Amino acid sequence: MSNYPKPDAATLLAMYKSAALIRLNDERVIKEMTAGRLMMPFYSTQGQEIIPSAVAANLTDEDYICTIYRGTHDMLAKGFPLEALWGELAGRVNGSCKGKGGPMHLTYPQKGMMVTTGIVGSSMPIAVGLGWGAKLKGKGQVSVANFGDGAANIGAFHESLNLAALWDLPVIFLCQNNRYAEHTSFANSTRVKNISMRAAGYGMEGVTVNGNDPDEIYGAVRIAVERARAGDGPTLIEAMTFRFNGHLVGDAAGYIPRDELADCREKDPVPALRTRLIADGIANEADLAGIEAEIKAAIETAVAAGYAGALPDIAELKRDVFAYELA
């Protein structure tokens, strides 16, 4: 990985802005839930912020992503509008899905966020289809399938990687390996040490990188994106990371050894990147404090705007089932 293309200063700063937004927004969501103002299953993404920030740094609005219930980080990094997010979490009509999808089905096609699924593994077959469509359009678009370590053991993974490789599709299979699938540790889900080695079984490039290391994950994604845009086919990237807040809000994660938790929290990638930006002279304390203040302000505006939206009319049950409204 030493020979990986490295993110330049501007890119690192952009990645930090994205990571900070994801972290601060995630904390804000949990605050609303703890206060009992938001009722929903919420899958915190704290600890995984660097990955989508590195992905987004390599994509344009024309590129597609599919993600999972644990996907607000992927969405925000790619530019999901904050108000549309908060409106959706609040189940209001100003949500991107008019409140009909909720946190597990966030969608925003204008920026390529095509599907968020609640079914483990199902982001992959659909991302293959987006990659097929992208290849047919011939504009060099890329399709990214986000999924977890647990999803790597379900059938959809196998069929998707094989087809994408066979058809030479511009798809990036991004396994965010946070070591746990609900209560099951990675080691208890498969005999292999890492998922990326499975790529060989499909004739595909595969690599495992530290997803919390901005350089490693940025470089791996950049190479995969270039390969995809060049028409050289798909890549499987396994980004090692960790989820700080258990499976979903309310899960105390008693099944995770305390020292493992402590060790990971200590290696929190977001403050680490912040420290690095200052150390490398890319930004100073004041710059970053300013950025964070801006982000917080933007989030507060979005929270207020989200709740301000109207609750959907019952008639919405008859809309969007089909193209026409049901009688």
Partner 1 sequence: MTNPKKMNMIEAVNAALHAACEADANVLVLGEDVADREEGGVVGVTRGLSTKFGDDRVKSTPISEQAIMGAAIGASLIGFRPVAEIMLMNFVTVAMDMITNHAAKLRFMSGGQTSVPIVIRTMTGSGFSQGGQHSDFLEAWFAHTPGIKVVMPSNPSDAYGLLLSAIRDDDPVMFVEPMALYWTPGEVDFQPVPLGKARIVQEGADVTIISYSIGAVHSAAAAVELAKEGIAAEVIDLRTVSPWDRETVLASVKKTGRAVVVHEAVKEYGVGAEISSVIHEQLWSDLKGPVQRVGGAYSPVPFAKPLEQAFAPNAASIVAAVRAALA
Interface residues with ligand TPP (CB under 6 A)?
70, 118-120, 147-151, 178, 180-182
Name the residue among 142, 238, 156, 145 with its Cα closest to residue 199: 238
Q: Which does 70 bind (CB under 5 to 8 A by kind): Mg ion, ligand TPP, partner 1, none?
A: ligand TPP
- The stretch among 54-62, 186-194, 239-247, 286-294 that binds a copy of itself (CB under 8 A) is 186-194
> Is residue 178 close enough to count as binding Mg ion by CB under 5 A?
yes
Of 166 and 321, nearer to a copy of itself (C-beta) is: 166
**Smallest gap from residue 109 Cβ to Mg ion (A):** 27
Of 107 and 185, nearer to ligand TPP (C-beta) is: 185
Question: What are residue 209's phi and psi, to 5 degrees?
Answer: -130, 165
Name the residue among 74, 19, 3, 22 with its Cα closest to residue 214: 19
Q: Cα–Cα distance between 54 and 296 in angstroms, integer?
A: 21
Of 141 and 241, nearer to ligand TPP (C-beta) is: 241
**Smallest gap from residue 86 Cβ to Mg ion (A):** 26
Of 102 and 206, nearer to a copy of itself (C-beta) is: 206
Tokens standing for residue 150: 């647990």
Show the site string, 149-168: x = touches a copy of itself by CB under 8 A, - = not: ----xxxxxxx--x--xx--
- The stretch among 13-21, 78-86, 170-178, 212-220 that binds Mg ion (CB under 5 A) is 170-178
> Is residue 149 close enough to count as binding Mg ion by CB under 5 A?
yes
Question: 25 and 83 in contact (C-beta within 8 Å)?
Answer: no
Cβ-based neighbour number of residue 25 at 10 Å:
25
Name the residue among 121, 27, 25 with its Cα closest to residue 66: 121
Looking up tokens 């845009």 gives 229
Q: How many residues does the chain have?
A: 327
Q: Cα–Cα distance between 28 and 49 in angstroms, integer?
A: 15
> Is residue 120 close enough to count as binding a copy of itself by CB under 8 A?
no
Residues contributing to the site for Mg ion (CB under 5 A): 148-149, 178, 181
